[in-house]
Structure 1
Amino acid sequence: MKNVTIALDEDVARWARVEAAKRDMSFSRLVGEMLRDLMRSESSYQEARRQFFSVEPRPLRANSAPLPSREEIHDRSGLR
């Protein structure tokens, strides 16, 4: 593990110490877990975004064809 020094507002530091005590863990561990969760959330978002944009866009209709139904527009089976 890497040790780092951070600056916090007093009220944020107080809240974090209390929250860590409620969870029966150290302040450092609480901050580390919060940052890890944030990192995983961001990674998940980036992966979902990559998958979304990897699908080739298709036109909603041919020149004179009727517009697709709501169900057809919102079908996401290709993304599952």
Structure 2
Amino acid sequence: MKNVTITLDEEVAHWARVEAAREGKSLSRWIGDSLREEMEASVDQNSGVRTLLALKPGKLSIDGKLPHHSEYHRAVLPRHERDHLRTGSGRSGKARTRN
């Protein structure tokens, strides 16, 4: 373990103390754990990007074409296929004027 001294403004220090207490940790332990989590998330993200960039170019589908947007929406947004949802507001498309 390496001991370090940090300077925090009052608002940040208060928030950090509250968060540490909420987790039942000392301020020092909470800051150390938070920094470790950030470091590990950064390492994981960088690893994922490197893996993605290392992929060889390939076809997006068997015929090399992307699906039409309506096919995509049917697959990704199935809630639009539910019968109980209204298809529109029921208005005739005319704008409502206010007096």
Q: Tell me if TM exceeds 0.5.
A: yes
Structure 2 residue aligned with 1:27: 27
CA RMSD of aligned residues (A): 2.0
Question: How many pairs were matched up?
Answer: 66
- Superposition TM-score, scaled by structure 1 size: 0.72
Identity across matched positions, percent:
42
Structure number, greater radius of gyration: 2
Structure 2 residue aligned with 1:54: 54
Residue 70 of structure 1 is aligned with which of 44, 67, 72? 67
- Superposition TM-score, scaled by structure 2 size: 0.59
Segments ≥4 residues shifted beyond 6 Å? none
Give the unaligned 5+ runs of structure 1. Answer: 61-65, 72-80
Structure 1 residue aligned with 2:6: 6
User: Larger RCO: Structure 1 or Structure 2 (Cα < 8 Å, ≥ 6 residues apart)?
Assistant: 1
1:14-36 Cα shifts (integer Å, max 9, x gaps): 11111111211100000001000
Q: Distance in 1 between matches of 2:40 and 2:66?
A: 36
Letter aligned with residue 7 of structure 2: A
Q: Distance in 1 between matches of 2:14 and 2:42?
A: 27
Give the unaligned 5+ runs of structure 2. Answer: 69-99
